[in-house]
Each structure stands twice: as C-alpha cells, then as structure tokens.
C-alpha cells in the first residue's frame, strides 16, 4: 500500500511550482508592459507640451513683443503677405510659407520639421522671439527645440471685405519628446488684431 503513493507529493509539488512560475512570469510581463506604456504616455505629453510652446512662440513671432534682433512682425500685417514664399523661406524668412493649391499635399506635410541645418524651412523655438526652452538628452525634457511654420491664408469669414482682404495665419508646430522619434504635431489658425 505504501509503494502506491510513492512520488505523488513530488509530482504535486512540481506542478504547483510550474503554475506559480508561469503566474510570476505573466505578472512581470504585465508590469513591464505597464511601465513601457506609462513611459510612452509621459514622452508623448512632453512632445505635446513642446508643440504647444512652439505655437505660443509663433504667436509672439506674429504679434510681438519680441526681444530678438531678428524679429519680423512687419511680415504679419492683417492685409499683407510680405515675405511668405512658395515651399517656405530660409534665413530670416525661415518658416514663412505660402499655401499650396488645392489637390496638392499641404506645406506642413512636406516640410522636414527635424531639419536643424542652416537651410531649414522651419523656424526654431526662440529664433525670432528671443525666448528660451530647456532641451537636451539629460533628464526628462525635449531632446530638441520644437519647430514651426506659418502659412498666410485669405480670411474668408463672413463680413470680411473683398476690397481689402484680411489675412489669417495657420501655424503648424512639431514638438519632440525625450527622444527625437517621439513627436507631436499641433496646428492653429491665428488672426492678428
């Protein structure tokens, strides 16, 4: 009788050990996935906030007051499109774009927002306003400064005068997270008073 029960407790213990091990591995995978998801959300929030900062910087670029010697508020009158170029300008006209014709890709879709060269088509945060934003690879902050473009558009709202057409400005901004690959794009329409 005794020989029939031999090894039963060993097999039971091994099965329980395997079940506990599988549950432990599953729990650790869930914790790692949760941590990655949380980090992704945090990085997206940083990129989103950087893009919002670029929209505000563009608003200061359009409206002023600016402390930069490169300020270009004269380009942004309610009736003028002075300095805006096809395909976006460079240099002091960097980021000033004329919209494309209907049926073509929008300017903001074809411009490289990650280009930091001297011939970049996008304006960097603070280029024309003198404002600063802390960036870098250490800590939890954007890896690089957000960038934006400004398109001049006709104001077609009811009540606008056809003889002296007013202008609207469409600003498209891209912010970056702690890694350059984490990006957020925001857009606003701005009417200068």
Average pLDDT over residues 20-35: 89
Digit-coded pLDDT (tens) for 36-69: 888 899 999 999 999 999 999 999 888 877 777 6
pLDDT at position 32, please? 84
Question: What is the distance of C-alpha 34 from the center of its chain?
Answer: 24
Average pLDDT over residues 162-183: 86
Residue 85 forms beta bridges with which residues?
97
Given a cut of 60, whether residue 2 has pLDDT beyond it is no
Digit-coded pLDDT (tens) for 96-126: 988 888 778 888 888 999 998 988 999 999 9
pLDDT at position 161, please? 61
Give the global pTM: 0.78
DSSP secondary structure, 49-100, as one string = HHHHHHHHHHHHHHH-----TT--GGG--SS--TT-EET-B-GGGBTEEEPP
Cα distances (angstroms) measured from residue 122 to each of 59, 81, 146: 15, 17, 10
More confident residue, 170 or 34: 170
Digit-coded pLDDT (tens) for 72-83: 766 676 566 667
The whole-chain average pLDDT of the chain stands at: 85
pLDDT at position 176, please? 96
């Amino acid at each position: 009788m005794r020989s029939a029960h031999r090894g039963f407790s060993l097999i039971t213990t091994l099965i329980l050990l395997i079940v506990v091990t599988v549950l432990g591995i599953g729990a650790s995978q869930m914790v790692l996935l949760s941590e990655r998801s949380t980090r992704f959300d945090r990085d997206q929030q940083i990129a989103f906030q950087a893009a919002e900062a670029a929209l505000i910087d563009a608003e200061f670029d359009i409206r002023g007051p600016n402390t930069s010697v490169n300020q270009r508020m004269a380009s942004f009158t309610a009736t003028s499109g002075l300095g805006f170029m096809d395909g976006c300008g460079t240099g002091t006209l960097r980021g000033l774009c004329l919209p494309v014709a209907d049926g073509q890709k929008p300017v903001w879709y074809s411009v490289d927002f990650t280009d930091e060269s001297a011939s970049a088509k996008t304006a960097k945060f603070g280029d024309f306003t003198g404002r600063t934003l802390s960036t870098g690879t250490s800590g939890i902050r954007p890896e690089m400064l957000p960038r934006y473009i400004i398109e001049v558009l006709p104001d077609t709202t009811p009540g606008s005068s056809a003889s002296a057409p007013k202008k609207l400005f469409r600003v498209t901004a891209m912010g970056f997270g702690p890694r350059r690959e984490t990006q957020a794009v925001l857009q606003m329409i701005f009417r200068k008073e």
